Amino acid sequence: MDAPAKTVKMNLLFDFYGQLLTDRQREIFLLYYHDDLSLGEIAENIQISRQGVYDTLQRGEQALTDLEGRLGLMAKHQGRRRSLRALSSILEDMMGHVERSKVRDEFLIQGLQEAMNAVDKMMAE
């Protein structure tokens, strides 16, 4: 996995499980992944060795990966997002078909619009 892909994955995992890391792991993770500091810069800032920063970061990354492996919250979330996007597309297609039809069914149009609004709301959460 290339560095940018790893960064995206780690940040997503942190969003789901970051509060379960130790305070020190969370601090180092944020400095490294969010503030884009090097291991040496982090070591200097928090007064520990570069190896200590590296080890703590590795343990934090492993903890996040293990939690996802056991709980799968990120994968479930991503699956729901894909399903919602597919549902949104289907509803938009249906709405287009109903609007182009010769017979105007206001009840159906209203129902489709409410369903589309509900999907949009879920995707925004």
- What is the C-alpha separation between 29 and 60, in angstroms, rounded? 7
Q: Tell me which H or E stretch contains 38.
A: none
23: left (phi over 0), alpha (psi -120 to 50) or beta: alpha
Domain ranges for the chain? 3-71, 75-124
In single-letter form, the type of residue at position 1 comes to M
pLDDT at residue 1, as a whole number: 81
- What is the C-alpha separation between 95 and 108, in angstroms, rounded? 9
Q: What's this model's pTM, rounded to 2 decimal places?
A: 0.78
Both tokens of 96, joined, read 């287009």
In CATH terms, 3-71 corresponds, of 3.60.110.10, 1.10.287.990, 1.10.10.10, 1.10.1760.20, to 1.10.10.10
For the chain, 125 residues long, give each residue's pLDDT as a single digit of tens.
888 899 999 999 999 999 999 999 999 999 999 999 999 999 999 999 999 999 999 999 999 999 999 999 999 999 999 999 999 999 999 999 988 888 888 889 899 999 999 999 999 88
Q: Give CA separation, 57 vs 34, 68, 75, 87, in Å.
A: 13, 17, 22, 39
3-state secondary structure of 52: helix
